[in-house]
């Protein structure tokens, strides 16, 4: 296997608005569902919020210079919907758009390609109060917002992503309640999943209507590499069931223009899916220029037994499951190395997904739009931050990407999650995914060893060896 990546490969880092920006009440920004959720006692570890986060709103220029110093040629960021359109309705707020105009100009000035994500989970709270993603109207509001951002930034942003991980928005937000808005209604979660997909399709149409020719559209999914614990018929059926809920619920309508019939059958006791109108799948299936794949760990399942206790699916083990209609499925933590999130380190899952979507969507380029790991990084006595575990993690997963390319996958780029340590959703500031360490008291940024390792890769396109020691 070659260690050299193709010419023109995008080497990027990625962030999300609520996790890094702060400035929660500046320039007309109003609360998102994550502002409300994080300010609700007991929802986020240690009562942490994104009010300040890592102050990227005020340190934008510094952070872009930091990226330039790392040699990355692309940066994937999200726009804060309530910063641009505070109520989720009506005209855009120019002060909010001005922040993103300045960010994009800074990136382009440093030779870094902006990769813009319209929705990374920060629904305006007013839209949630009106029903949120389970309500069809939210999909139309999202398309209006997409059009406004497209009109403002389409002259300088070439790569656009509609949604980031709609599975998390729907099922962690509305079924398990582990994420904002914290609802625990399986039927609402399935409606939310459909309306997120509908919003994707409507937003893609809206963007195509206002963007200059040649702009590229994508969506970033977090497909699960679902594995049966054994080859028994019962475990294989558990695998099929979770594959429908994790993967085909989105790729079916987005890539094929139809929902999988087994998904409808599996969830029939929860909903009759009457909220899906006859024309919706065609609206959802819009032409894409690439498909974003976010990957962290595989999912191991079996048929549930009386002896099984707990749910080890990487999404918490609370009393409410994010898997509607899958009460008969058990989730298992495989043996071996774990990250600080308790997620297994297994690059083969990323390889499997890249080859799967190469087969299922031939001709559609792929991007690894998120991949990374949390470890308990601490500065040493000399102020440096060494994170050899993360370097090994990245090396293994990038080697899997390179092997997938050798085996026929058309992978065009890789975005390391994340540029900066930041607000890690319900975990607050307790989990560090960044290639750059952030001292949350002083906001001092310190590139970790992994950032310097990644910079060598970005500069040469050749996978470096893992340092010894």
Task: Provide the annotated active-site residues.
Answer: 165, 370
**466 Cβ contact list (under 8 Å, min separation 6):** 388, 391, 392, 395
Query: What is the Cα–Cα distance from 5 to 329, expressed in whole angstroms?
Result: 39
Tokens of 271: 């909903």
Query: What is the Cα–Cα distance from 178 to 271, expressed in whole angstroms?
Result: 22
Query: What is the Cα–Cα distance from 299 to 239, expressed in whole angstroms?
Result: 9
Tokens of 88: 């989720």
Query: What is the Cα–Cα distance from 158 to 466, expressed in whole angstroms?
Result: 34
Tokens of 168: 């998390």
Give CA 15 to chain center in angstroms: 9
- Angle (CA) 92-133-16 rounded to 5° is 60
C-beta of residue 73 within 8 angstroms of C-beta of residue 67: no
Is the CA virtual torsion 81, 76, 143, 198 positive or negative?
negative
C-beta of residue 15 within 8 angstroms of C-beta of residue 50: no
Query: What is the Cα–Cα distance from 159 to 180, expressed in whole angstroms?
Result: 27
Query: What is the Cα–Cα distance from 467 to 1, expressed in whole angstroms?
Result: 20
Burial tier of 42 (Cβ tally within 10 Å: 0-12, 13-18, 19+): exposed
204, 252, 243: which is closest to 323 by C-alpha?
A: 243
Neighbours of 219 (CB within 10 A): 30
What are the φ and ψ backbone dihedral angles of 251, each rounded to 5 degrees?
-70, -25
291-294 and 329-332 as β-strands: parallel, antiparallel, unpaired? unpaired
């Amino acid at each position: 296997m070659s260690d050299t990546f193709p010419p023109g490969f995008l080497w990027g880092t990625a962030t999300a608005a609520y996790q890094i920006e702060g400035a929660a009440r500046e320039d007309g920004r109003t609360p998102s569902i994550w502002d409300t959720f994080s300010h609700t006692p007991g929802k986020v570890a240690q009562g942490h919020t994104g009010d300040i986060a890592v102050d990227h709103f005020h340190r934008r220029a510094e952070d872009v210079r930091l990226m330039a110093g790392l040699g990355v040629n692309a940066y994937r960021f999200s726009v804060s919907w309530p910063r641009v359109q505070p109520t989720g309705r009506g005209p855009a707020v120019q002060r909010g758009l001005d922040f993103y105009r300045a960010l994009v100009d800074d990136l382009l000035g440093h030779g870094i390609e902006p990769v813009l994500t319209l929705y990374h989970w920060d629904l305006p709270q007013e839209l949630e109060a009106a029903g949120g993603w389970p309500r069809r109207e939210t999909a139309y509001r999202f398309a209006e917002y997409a059009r406004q951002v497209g009109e403002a930034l389409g002259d300088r942003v070439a790569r656009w992503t509609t949604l980031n991980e709609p599975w998390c928005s729907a099922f962690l937000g509305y079924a398990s309640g582990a994420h904002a808005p914290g609802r625990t209604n399986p039927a609402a979660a399935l409606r939310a999943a459909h309306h997120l997909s509908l919003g994707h399709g409507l937003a893609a149409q809206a963007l195509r209507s206002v963007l200059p020719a040649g702009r590229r559209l994508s969506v970033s999914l977090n497909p699960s590499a679902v594995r049966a614990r054994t080859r028994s018929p019962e475990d294989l059926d558990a695998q099929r069931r979770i594959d429908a809920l994790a993967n085909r619920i989105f790729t079916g309508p987005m890539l094929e223009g139809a929902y999988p019939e087994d998904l409808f059958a599996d969830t029939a006791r929860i909903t009759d899916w009457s909220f899906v109108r006859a024309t919706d799948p065609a609206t959802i299936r819009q032409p894409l220029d690439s498909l974003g794949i976010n990957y962290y760990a595989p999912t191991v399942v079996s048929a549930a037994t009386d002896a099984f206790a707990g749910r080890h699916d990487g999404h918490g083990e609370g009393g409410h499951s994010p898997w509607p209609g899958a009460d008969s499925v058990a989730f298992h933590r495989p043996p071996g190395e774990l990250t600080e999130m308790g997620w297994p380190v297994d690059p083969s899952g990323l390889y499997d997904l890249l080859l799967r979507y190469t087969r299922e969507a031939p001709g559609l380029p792929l991007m690894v739009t998120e991949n990374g790991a949390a470890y308990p990084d601490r500065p040493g006595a000399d102020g440096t931050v060494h994170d050899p575990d993360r370097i090994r993690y990245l090396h293994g997963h990038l080697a899997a990407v390179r092997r997938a390319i050798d085996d026929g996958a058309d992978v065009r780029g890789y975005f390391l999650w994340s540029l900066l340590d930041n607000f890690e959703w319900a975990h607050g500031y307790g989990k560090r995914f960044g290639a750059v360490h952030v001292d949350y008291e002083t906001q001092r940024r310190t590139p970790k060893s992994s950032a310097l390792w990644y910079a060598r890769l970005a500069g040469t396109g050749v996978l470096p060896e893992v340092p010894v020691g």
